[in-house]
Structure 1
């Protein structure tokens, strides 16, 4: 019972920390460009992770070299692209919208699992995905249906969906991780490679845009995202899954928009309108319907 309580506590703490990443994306959007923000975030995560992962990384090096294509692909999806898209979205959309769109990744995983692995989509899952799609429409339109008719979608919402798609692909192909490859070794390798893959875009930003002024808000935001969201939350989430399993931990993750909304209201002063509330409830309700396993009848 203590182990179960600890598992729920760690999953909840990881989700709360992750919710702050969307507030960071919004808060520093005008202070540091997205590629540079993502690069420094993951570089910080790599440097913090390396002392803990050094032994595993050395032991896993033959496997990493043998499967370098897979490791590079996962680093590109999960490190280089996913959070860059969310930081780009932060330039033009509220943090609450990003937090509401991000949990659509489980539905994306269901669709891709059907296409790639041939897994069936049950009527319950189809109903849940339909509700999620309706929630996205409500959220993106802000309750203004004429806006949808004119196809004037906010660019930030599309960038957020791109980030959710990257996370969905990353999660889908995580099941193909080579046997024997440790979690810490894989994490350190993807953190480092993903940071390297960002360098061309980072150098282009540095050449085309004014230099970043490293004021306190930027430093705190990058360190929070790198140490908190990338390293601490990852460690908590891994231990939580070991205690309560991925399904129950996933239920806790669906509460992310609630904490993101609270943080955005307290820190950024963002207002929450009725369309966001309705859209968020539809998205969360649809995800829960589509992803939770149906109860088996009692014998």
Structure 2
């Protein structure tokens, strides 16, 4: 029970921190190009992580060297591509579109868990997912269905879907993390390999586009993304997947729009309509339905 509680708590903390990433993506869209934003974000995260991971890296080096292919794949999915795609999406799509598309990642996890690992999609879990999706739709549309009908598909929506796909696969493949590689070593290795893969694209973008100008908003956004969304959130997410598995952690991830709505009230002083409260309650209720186990009655 303690390990399960730690898993769900870690998934909630990671999701809470990631909810601020949408604000950062929108705020930095005009200040720095996506590849450079992503590169500096992860470089900050790696520099913060190394003092903690150093002793573990020396101990886990044989396992890292043996599984470098797997670690490279995880680095490409989680570091090179995922957030570059969301920053790219933030340049050309509405926040409503992003809020609708990015939370589809748990569906990717659910489907591929069935295909690759034979994990059953139980009626209870499916019902919980459907309730959560209904809550997300109400939450992001404020109960005004014409807003959903008026949405237009653009290139940014495909970038957001790409982000959701990368996150779903990253979380799914997390269960294959070799046990001889600690979470700190795993994150340090994937951060490094992901940065290495992103370097050529970052250099090319810097040569083709004007260099960003330093400003308090740019520095604050990159530091929040690096220390919060990358270092802290990915640490919590690794713990969550280790303890409760990618499917259960992915369902908790559905609470992201709820945290994003709360953040918009606290930070941007936006108002919340009653339909959004209903949507938030449905999201929370659906998560509880899908994740809480039903105790089995013992036979007489």
| TM-score higher than 0.5 | yes
Taking structure 1 as the reference length, the TM-score comes to 0.80
Give the conservation status (yes or no) of the 8 Å contact 2:100–2:137: no
From 98, 123, 145, the equivalent of 1:143 is: 145
1:155 corresponds to = 155
CA contact (8 A) 2:252 2:287 kept: no
CA distance in 2, matches of 1:188, 1:26: 27
Against the structure 1 CA distance between its residues 7 and 113, is the aligned structure 2 distance closer, same or farther, given a 3 Å change threshold?
closer
Deviates more, 1:30-39 or 1:118-127: 118-127
Comparing 218-227 with 267-276, which one deviates more in the overlay? 267-276
- For 2:137 and 2:28, how far apart are their aligned partners in 1? 27
Q: CA deviation at 1:238?
A: 5.9
**Counterpart of 2:244?**
246
Tell me whether 1:192 sits opposite 2:202 in the alignment.
no
CA 1:110–1:239 in 2, change beyond 3 Å: closer, same or farther? closer
Give ranges in structure 1 of 5+ residues lacking alignment.
Answer: none
Deviations 1:231-266 (A, max 9, x none): 233445667789xx5389777654332221232344
Superposed counterparts of 1:43-62, under 5 Å: 43-62=43-62
Between 1:51-60 and 1:7-16, the stretch displaced more is 7-16
In 2, the alpha carbon distance for the partners of 1:263 and 1:288 equals 22
Report the 3-state secondary structure (helix = DSSP H, G, I; strand = E; otherwise coil) of the residue aligned with 2:194. helix
1:1-299 matches, cutoff 5 A: 13-95=13-95, 97-99=97-99, 101-130=101-130, 143-144=145-146, 147=150, 152-236=152-236, 246=244, 253-268=253-268, 289=289, 291-299=290-298
Preserved contact between residue 129 and residue 251 of structure 2 (Cα < 8 Å): no
Q: Structure 2 CA distance, aligned partners of 1:52 and 1:130?
A: 40
Q: In structure 2, how many angstroms separate the alpha carbons of the residues matched to 1:249 and 1:181?
A: 21
Q: Secondary structure at the match of 2:201?
A: helix
Using a 3 Å threshold, how does the CA distance of structure 1 residues 6 and 108 change in structure 2: closer, same or farther? closer
User: Residues 87 and 284 (structure 1 numbering): CA distance in 2 closer, same or farther, change over 3 Å?
Assistant: farther
8 Å Cα contact 1:100/1:283 also seen in 2: no
Instruction: Give, in whole Å, the separation in 1 of the partners of 2:255 and 2:119.
Output: 27
Q: Given the two structures, how large is their TM-score scaled by the length of structure 2?
A: 0.79
For residues 55 and 225 of structure 2, what CA distance do their matches in structure 1 show?
A: 25
- The separation in 2 between residues aligned to 1:4 and 1:116, in whole angstroms, is 24
What's the CA shift for 1:216? 1.1
Q: Any idea what the Cα deviations from partners look like across 1:99-156, whole Å, max 9, x if unmatched?
A: 554333222111001111122222333444455666777869x7346557xxx42433
Deviations 1:213-245 (A, max 9, x none): 111111110011101222233445667789xx5
Cα 1:74/1:252, change in 2 over 3 Å: closer
